[in-house]
Chain A
Amino acid sequence: ETGVTQTPRHLVMGMTNKKSLKCEQHLGHNAMYWYKQSAKKPLELMFVYNFKEQTENNSVPSRFSPECPNSSHLFLHLHTLQPEDSALYLCASSQEVFFADTQYFGPGTRLTVL
């Protein structure tokens, strides 16, 4: 599969569970992003990694923990989530973090927290 892939596509979890979202990009990019997409709201940036280093944490609660082992893979570890965390989580990548670099998105993981 080409571009940006995300697994799983759907996830249902209880508030006490621990789960992880995975993102992989096949574009040779060096920057990766996690966005949250909630109904009726604009996309919200959560985390940014550039060359495996976290460059931004956009005031995200600690129950979300990102991990970037290399430039091609990005994880979002989830624990003790709240029902309001239910949303579509989108991963994106770009060549680097320059503002001129186009971001390419994955298909998203639809997360439901019960």
Chain B
Amino acid sequence: AQTVTQSQPEMSVQEAETVTLSCTYDTSESDYYLFWYKQPPSRQMILVIRQEAYKQQNATENRFSVNFQKAAKSFSLKISDSQLGDAAMYFCAYRNSNSGYALNFGKGTSLLVTP
């Protein structure tokens, strides 16, 4: 079974600074997708970024970028120029063709952004 581990239950960052959230996963597959979702206090789970395992180039969406290390099975999220609106729970998720229909989620990292 695939597992996703987020080792940081809570993180804190100052406005305008950069923060990196870590995620590791366990799989024997070579073809899969990785996702970062954001869940603000209002509870709407929003896709932040996704990465295809076959792509070597790290995905980027504006201030959000990932560091995908396939051999190390690591998928960290970097948030640059942090804003107050970035405060949320961040979930790392994994899915491949053999993992059924579910996204396999980590337990999440709560990000606090301070002025």
Contact = CB atoms under 8 A, between A and B. Distances in A.
Given A41-B107, A42-B107, A102 B47 contact: yes
Interface stretch (A19-27, A67-75, A76-84, A105-113): A105-113
B97 interface: yes
Given A42-B4, A88-B43, A103 B103 contact: yes
B32 interface: yes
Given A100-B33, A103-B103, 15 more contacts: A31-B101, A33-B101, A33-B102, A41-B107, A42-B104, A43-B103, A56-B100, A56-B101, A97-B101, A99-B33, A99-B99, A100-B52, A105-B37, A106-B44, A108-B43
B101 to A, nearest CB: 4
Interface residues of B, number: 27
Interface residues of A, number: 25
B95 interface: yes
A16 interface: no
B35 interface: yes
Interface of B: 4, 32-33, 35, 37, 42-47, 50, 52, 91, 95-97, 99-108
Contacts of B96: 99
A107 B47 CA distance: 13
Nearest to B100: A56
B44 A99 contact: no
Contacts of B107: 40-42
Nearest to B103: A103
A33 B45 CA distance: 14
Contacts of A90: 45
24 contacts: A31-B101, A33-B101, A42-B4, A42-B108, A43-B103, A43-B105, A45-B102, A45-B103, A55-B101, A56-B101, A56-B102, A90-B45, A92-B45, A99-B33, A99-B97, A100-B52, A102-B35, A103-B103, A104-B47, A105-B37, A105-B45, A106-B44, A107-B42, A108-B43
